[in-house]
């Protein structure tokens, strides 16, 4: 079983690929059942669910978009119906459509804030309500980003990831009386599809070589931190932002 946390039910949003998929696999490997939320690629989501089941854990496929409050509530309810409860939420779903600031539209701003920030807040609210109603504590892990430092083609994205830091701290205070811990992970450039939307392979490798540790992160490394933050070994850890970036940003 995982470190200090046996037989839990974990909901991972945006789990069809990248860090979300790695989190689903890591929690399953640590001995936990996983609700795999996916948006638009059922085949990828089914492959993640198959990996969860391959290590002897239950998996539920939950299709849905966190970009609306109703979507968040439906995803949480679907996970709870399928697996009986929710002990851990990994708020991973997010989008990063690159756009120069001078060209950014209101529609682009609203969509990114709706998914990344509103989605994180209301998925957490729905999951926390379920935890409280079921009479147990829990853990929420939010995904921020090293882009909190700023990015010229992601003013909207940077706004959301700084916002995730703020809601993490405030939710940690609000939910502590209920025994629910809330922390955030801020990954640097990680070897997934996401950074490839805005950079060539050569550009990514060049960026990676500038880091003190000389490489991109692996999604599994982010996932391992999420598993630890949700475990009882982290029972006195809440309201914190964990930077994992190869030394590229030291907070």
Active-site residue, 145 included: yes
The question of whether 8 is a catalytic residue gets the answer no
Catalytic hit among 144, 146, 161, 231? 161
Instruction: Name the catalytic one among 120, 144, 145, 158.
Output: 145
Annotated catalytic residue 118: no
Question: CA 236, CA 246: separation in Å to the nearest integer?
Answer: 25
Which residues lie closer than 8 Å to 249 by C-beta, 6 or more apart? 146, 149, 188, 243
Q: Which residue among 146, 157, 158, 231 is the active-site one?
A: 157
- Taken in order 211, 91, 21, 152, the sign of the CA dihedral is negative
Closest CA to 184 of 107, 98, 117, 84: 117
SS3 of residue 16 by DSSP: coil
Q: Using CA atoms, how far apart are residues 222 and 240, in angstroms rounded to an integer?
A: 15
Q: Which residues are catalytic?
A: 145, 157, 161
């Amino acid at each position: 079983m995982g470190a200090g946390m046996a037989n839990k039910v974990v909901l991972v949003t945006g789990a069809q690929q990248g860090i979300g998929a790695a989190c689903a696999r890591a929690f399953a490997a640590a001995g936990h059942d996983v609700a795999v939320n996916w948006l638009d690629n059922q085949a990828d989501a089914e492959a993640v669910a198959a990996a969860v089941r391959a290590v002897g854990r239950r998996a539920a496929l939950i299709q849905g978009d966190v970009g609306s409050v109703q979507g968040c509530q439906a995803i949480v309810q679907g996970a709870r119906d399928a697996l009986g409860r929710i002990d851990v939420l990994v708020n991973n779903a997010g989008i990063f459509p690159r756009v120069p600031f001078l060209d950014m539209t209101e529609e682009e701003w609203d969509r990114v804030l709706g998914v990344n920030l509103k989605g994180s807040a209301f998925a957490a609210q729905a999951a926390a309500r379920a935890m409280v109603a079921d009479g147990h504590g829990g853990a929420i892990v939010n995904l921020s980003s090293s882009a909190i430092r700023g990015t010229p083609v992601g003013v909207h994205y940077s706004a959301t990831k700084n916002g995730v830091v703020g809601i993490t701290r405030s939710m940690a205070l609000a939910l502590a009386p209920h025994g629910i811990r809330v922390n955030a992970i801020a990954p640097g450039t990680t070897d997934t599809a996401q950074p490839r939307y805005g950079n060539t392979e050569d550009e990514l490798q060049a960026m990676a070589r500038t880091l003190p540790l000389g490489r991109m992160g692996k999604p599994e490394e982010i996932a391992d931190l999420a598993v630890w933050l949700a475990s009882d070994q982290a029972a006195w850890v809440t309201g914190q932002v964990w930077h994992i970036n190869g030394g590229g940003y030291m907070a």
